[in-house]
Structure 1
Amino acid sequence: MKKYMYIISSAIVLVACESRTYEEISDNTPVPEQVTYTKDVKPIIDANCISCHAPGGAASFQPWTSYDQVKNNIDKIIDRIGRPTGDPQKMPQGGSLSPSQINIFTKWKADGLTEN
Structure 2
Amino acid sequence: MKKLMYIISSAILLVACESRTYEEISDKTPVVELVTYNKDVKPIIDANCIICHSPGNSASFQPWTSYNQVKNNIDKIIDRISRPIGDPQKMPQGGSLSPSQISTITKWKADGLIEN
TM interval, shorter chain, is 0.7 to 0.9
- 2-side partners of 1:63 and 1:88: how far apart? 20
- 2-side partners of 1:79 and 1:33: how far apart? 24
Q: Using structure 2 for the length normalisation, give the TM-score.
A: 0.72
SS in 1 for 2:104: helix
Q: List runs of 5+ in structure 1 lacking aligned partners.
A: 1-31
Amino acid at match of 1:71: K
Q: CA RMSD in A?
A: 0.8
Give the equivalent residue in structure 2 for 1:57: 57
Q: Using structure 1 for the length normalisation, give the TM-score.
A: 0.72
Amino acid at match of 2:77: I
Aligned-residue sequence identity (percent) comes to 84
Aligned length in residues = 85
Amino acid at match of 1:39: K
- 2-side partners of 1:110 and 1:89: how far apart? 23
The residue correspondences of 1:1-116 to structure 2 (distance < 5 A) are 33-116=33-116
- 2-side partners of 1:68 and 1:56: how far apart? 19
Give the equivalent residue in structure 1 for 2:18: none
Q: Deviations over 1:17-58 (max 9, x none)?
A: xxxxxxxxxxxxxxx721000000000000000010001110
- 1-side partners of 2:68 and 2:57: how far apart? 19
**Larger gyration radius, structure 1 or structure 2:** 2
Q: Post-superposition, which runs of at least 4 consecutive aligned residues in structure 1 deviate over 3 A?
A: none
Q: Deviations over 1:84-110 (max 9, x none)?
A: 000000000000000000001100000
Q: List runs of 5+ in structure 2 lacking aligned partners.
A: 1-31
Q: Quote how far apart the aligned CAs of 1:80 are.
A: 0.1
